[in-house]
Amino acid sequence: MSEPLEPAFPRDHRYEGHNGLTMRDYFAAKALAGILANSEAANGGAEPMLSYLSRREDGADWVASMSYQIADAMLEARK
């Protein structure tokens, strides 16, 4: 299971419908939680991450992009 679109929590194929969260989305969600929880990550530890992001015009886009970059790196490491 190293493909980004494979389900993070595969289920029996006897059931129809959506296969659930992809591995890429799962890893991105975990990365996002870690980024936002790290209160000393911004500006060399001088500022809480949420404060830093709120001042950036592209704060939400930046943190989402960073989360998926981390997820992609995690998927690459699984190969």
DSSP lists the bridge partners of residue 47 as 42
Domain ranges of the chain: 23-77
The string of pLDDT tens digits covering residues 1-55 is 566 677 777 766 666 666 678 899 999 999 999 888 876 666 666 777 777 788 8
Entry pTM: 0.69
By three-state DSSP, how is residue 12 classified? Answer: coil
The span from the first CA to the last CA of the chain, in angstroms, equals 9
Question: Which distant-in-sequence residues (6+ apart) come within 8 Å of 32 by Cβ?
Answer: 63, 64, 67
State the average pLDDT over residues 50-70: 88
